[in-house]
Structure 1
Amino acid sequence: MSPLSRGSWWAGLPPAAGAAVMAAGIISVGLHLVGREALSLAALVLAAALWLVLAADFTARLTGDRRRFRAEAYTPAALTAVAATTVLGTRLAMLGWRNAAAALLVVSAALWPGLLVAVVRHWRRRMPGVAFLGCVATQGLAVLAAVLATPGGPDPLARAASAAFCLGLLLYAAALVRFDPQEVVRGAGDHWVAGGALSISALAGSKLLASPVWTGGAHTVLRIATLALLTGSLAWYAVLLYAELRHPRTRYDIRRWATVFPLGMTAVACLSATEPAGVGWLRPLGEVLLWVAVGAWLLTFAAFLLARRTALRRTPAHVAPPGPSQ
């Protein structure tokens, strides 16, 4: 346990807790897109506060508990640090806080290569849904870079975003062949990332459609690819929802935050693709899916509080050692 977390309510949180930041952050983005600014800002404040806590704990482990840091850096869930940072940066960029968003892009880009290489080197066969976090983290960089790129003009960020977008698709394919299909019916929540990775890829594609890097035939290919990715994410959504109904998993698990994020990301991808991809009919669907994601966030948060309360009740009370007079 790191010095920061000792004795705190977040004591023992694994890297997968970064998915909670991702979930709150993407819901904030979605609420902004539908004009619910007060709720969007509330979700943003929550995401930012949790990000600061996790960032401080991440730093404490890096400087004070290297053994734990190295052990966790090899797990796919470690990439939530990159993905969460890019989601938060994207929302700040939408607020007009470009300098803060650019700083988060630098932080996430600095973390990304080391964590990605460490994770990919430890990939194995028949992996859970967290295997797709390599794609999610990479596409998160693509989205944030594309949002910060100069619209309509030549920009190195647009080219970097394009490169990250293409690499993210390759990482998705590599994760897909290692994904255990049984996770669809027995996964604890992170199996939804299989669809969420396609959603964030579609979002990256929709942001890149405004870039001059993609013109002429390349622009047409990108538009078709974006719509195909979005269709694939909706197909995953239907399959995973059906599996949840057939095989309910009602017990709280921290990996359930990795369910909420794909739900919100699919909604945001639908809302964001309406204009650049010319599919206006997706907006009503995106609005419905957004409120589904908000409901899932509330249920997951309530389950977290209940699980935490139960855990505290089961923790033995501290008994002070006998004093000199006893």
Structure 2
Amino acid sequence: MPPATTTPTPTSPLLTWWSQRPPAAGAAVMATGILSVALNQTDHETLSRIALALACASWLALAGDFTARLLWDRARWVNEAATPAALTAIAATTVLGTRFTTLGWEPLAKTLLALAALLWPGFLIAVVRHWHPRMSGAVFLGCVATQGLAVLGATLAANESSAWLAHAALVLFWLGLVLYVIALTRFDLRQVVHGAGDHWVAGGALAISALAGSKLIAADSTRLYLWNDDDTSALRKVTVALLILDLAWYAALALAEIARPRLRYDVRRWATVFPMGMTAAATLSVATALDVPWLETPGEVLLWITVAAWLAVSAGALWAYTHPGHSSVSGADATPGATPGTDVTSTTRR
């Protein structure tokens, strides 16, 4: 009988540190990727490409880790695949695909869309089956992953003049909103005050929904004629409402951070940076799609706030790497005795 396969033991401090990262680390790719998108929207192309390179490197590292655990540590892979944070893999992939589309790299963007679409149903079903009351902000990642597909699909539809892709993106857009409403009933509002970072996804999910709406509006043209006047009017109203609700969440969450500062580094802080960047990107995109130029200024202000937050969290991540054991570790590694289906992506600090 052949010996049981075991996970290879990391041979360096860097590999040891990396092997302990929970699925929530995918939010770092999402945060850096959307930062690249927003910098491109404001014509800061050099900075945008630097952020894109960092996001791509992180995505490749996470993809390698995903594959290694699937092959050599199946029990841990199955355990983590049932947690909401596993959906960051899909969201991160769609964010990168959206940025590649703006560079004109449609074949690569289509490949990432196909990969994300292939993973999305299985991961979403596994996660939704384990939803329960009083969850952290990670519960909204079902909406985020779904809207990520809608954003990438609508962006590619506009570039490729593909009506079927735009209509598929529209279906995902409405499904994402349904998932948001359901997730809101499972969200523990106390996380706004006590959460360690991923509570910001409550607003970020609305931001990516507004971004998806703006991309669907922009995808329409006289050549495709995707939506009639009633459809376009409904999309515009819903998109504006989503952006307003997102900005309201942003303000409430920012005030809560001021009232109760949480300065210790936690990997879930990347799930704070992502919604901040997504709000900036959504504001800028809505300004263009709905021809509201005055929104460009607040969008750019939000972008530079995101840059500052990204730098702060990056410094925290570097400090955590150089001072192991002194920072908060999240995910499955942070919750003793966690079992599949429990919400191990965030704990409530009291």
Q: TM-score, normalised by structure 1?
A: 0.93
Shift of 1:61: 1.0
Shift of 1:83: 0.2
CA distance in 1 between counterparts of 2:122 and 2:9 reads 24
Report SS of the residue matched to 1:274: helix
The 3 A distance-change label for structure 1 pair 293 and 4 is: farther
Q: Deviations over 1:54-96 (max 9, x none)?
A: 0011011112211011100110000000000000111111111
CA distance in 2 between counterparts of 1:213 and 1:184 reads 39
> What is the aligned residue count?
314
Alignment of 1:38 with 2:40, yes or no, is: no
Q: Give the aligned partner of residue 137 of structure 2.
A: 129
Q: Deviations over 1:247-286 (max 9, x none)?
A: 0000000000000000000000000111211221110000
Q: Give the aligned partner of residue 51 of structure 1.
A: 59
CA distance in 2 between counterparts of 1:157 and 1:5 reads 43
Q: Give the aligned partner of residue 306 of structure 1.
A: 319
Q: Give the aligned partner of residue 91 of structure 2.
A: 83
Question: What code does the residue aligned with 1:286 have?
Answer: G
CA distance in 2 between counterparts of 1:152 and 1:304 reads 39
CA distance in 2 between counterparts of 1:151 and 1:68 reads 40
Contact in 2 for aligned 1:154/1:213 (Cα 8 Å): no
CA distance in 1 between counterparts of 2:30 and 2:195 reads 19
Question: What code does the residue aligned with 2:217 have?
Answer: L
Shift of 1:215: 2.2
CA distance in 1 between counterparts of 2:20 and 2:244 reads 38
Match among 243, 247, 259 for residue 260 of structure 2: 247
Contact in 2 for aligned 1:214/1:222 (Cα 8 Å): no
Question: Once the two structures are aligned, what percentage of the paired residues are identical?
Answer: 59
Q: Give the aligned partner of residue 227 of structure 2.
A: 214
The 3 A distance-change label for structure 1 pair 4 and 61 is: farther
Question: What code does the residue aligned with 1:202 have?
Answer: A
Match among 80, 84, 109 for residue 72 of structure 1: 80
Q: Give the aligned partner of residue 296 of structure 2.
A: 283
Contact in 1 for aligned 2:95/2:152 (Cα 8 Å): yes
Contact in 1 for aligned 2:142/2:176 (Cα 8 Å): yes
Q: Deviations over 1:167-191 (max 9, x none)?
A: 0000000000110000000000000
Match among 157, 163, 166 for residue 158 of structure 1: 166
Match among 266, 271, 274 for residue 279 of structure 2: 266
The 3 A distance-change label for structure 1 pair 150 and 245 is: closer
CA distance in 1 between counterparts of 2:311 and 2:289 reads 31
Contact in 2 for aligned 1:4/1:60 (Cα 8 Å): no
Shift of 1:214: 2.4
Contact in 1 for aligned 2:140/2:184 (Cα 8 Å): yes
CA distance in 1 between counterparts of 2:228 and 2:61 reads 42
Shift of 1:107: 0.5
CA distance in 2 between counterparts of 1:232 and 1:157 reads 27
Report SS of the residue matched to 1:281: helix
Question: What code does the residue aligned with 1:207 have?
Answer: K
Q: Give the aligned partner of residue 21 of structure 2.
A: 13
Q: Deviations over 1:203-241 (max 9, x none)?
A: 000000033332211100100000000000000000000
Q: Give the aligned partner of residue 71 of structure 2.
A: 63
Q: TM-score, normalised by structure 2?
A: 0.87
CA distance in 2 between counterparts of 1:150 and 1:127 reads 37
Q: Note the 1:107-126 alignment, pairs <5 A.
A: 107-126=115-134
Q: Deviations over 1:142-185 (max 9, x none)?
A: 00000101459552110110011000000000000110000000
Q: Give the aligned partner of residue 149 of structure 2.
A: 141
Shift of 1:46: 0.2
Alignment of 1:233 with 2:246, yes or no, is: yes
Question: Which deviates further from its counterpart, 242-251 or 274-283?
Answer: 274-283
Question: What code does the residue aligned with 2:47 have?
Answer: L
Shift of 1:311: 0.8
Contact in 1 for aligned 2:320/2:326 (Cα 8 Å): no
CA distance in 2 between counterparts of 1:44 and 1:268 reads 15
The 3 A distance-change label for structure 1 pair 290 and 13 is: same
The 3 A distance-change label for structure 1 pair 209 and 203 is: same
The structure showing larger relative contact order (alpha-carbon pairs under 8 Å, at least 6 residues apart) is 2
